[in-house]
Amino acid sequence: MDKLPEDLLLEILSRLGDSADVARCRIASKGFNTLYPRLRSINLQCTSQILWNHHSSSSFKKIFLNLISNMPVVESVCIGAEKELKLALQDVHDHDLYLFDEFFLEKWLPRVSVHLKSLSVSNHPYQRNWVSHVLPLLSAYCKFIITFITLLY
């Protein structure tokens, strides 16, 4: 795999719809790991496996921050939770899925906002009062993009 041309490896990575798959490829191949920072989009959906195993490894937010910190140019961000997990979490208050946490947003949004063209965040339904904290951040950093904000139901 590592003997393939860089352009082909980058094309393979860019066609993966889920950034978790990209992370797995980085572990499997030096070539993928080297080229990963050249990707321009991140799509990470929290799965039940990530959520239930986060006590023994990294939290969903830490996984996201790790992935995005290595990318110098980010044009598209899509983070949230998979559909099946949304149903399971109706009564669970897991702060790892409070994606409109202003401290979490401050860790990555200012750095990526320069090139950002698309933002989609699916938030935990029990995070209340996020609008007054998050809208000023989005307004400050996302002036030139269409921002899609979705509540997790």
- 3-state DSSP call for residue 89? coil
Percent of the chain whose predicted confidence (pLDDT) is above 70: 68
Sign of the torsion formed by the C-alpha atoms of 71, 75, 79 and 82? negative
Exposed, middle or buried: residue 139 (CB in 10 Å: 0-12, 13-18, 19+)? exposed
The pLDDT mean for the chain works out to: 76
pTM confidence score: 0.76
What is the tens place of the pLDDT at every residue in 53-67?
555 456 788 888 988
pLDDT band of 92, cuts 50, 70, 90? low
Whole-number Cα distances in Å, 52 to 37, 82, 104: 28, 13, 20
- Beta partners for residue 149, in sequence order: 121
Pick from 84-88, 99-103, 109-113, 135-139 the range whose average pLDDT is largest.
Answer: 109-113
55 within 8 A of 31, measured Cβ to Cβ? no
- Beta partners for residue 147, in sequence order: 119
Residue 46 is inside which H or E element, if any?
Answer: strand 41-46
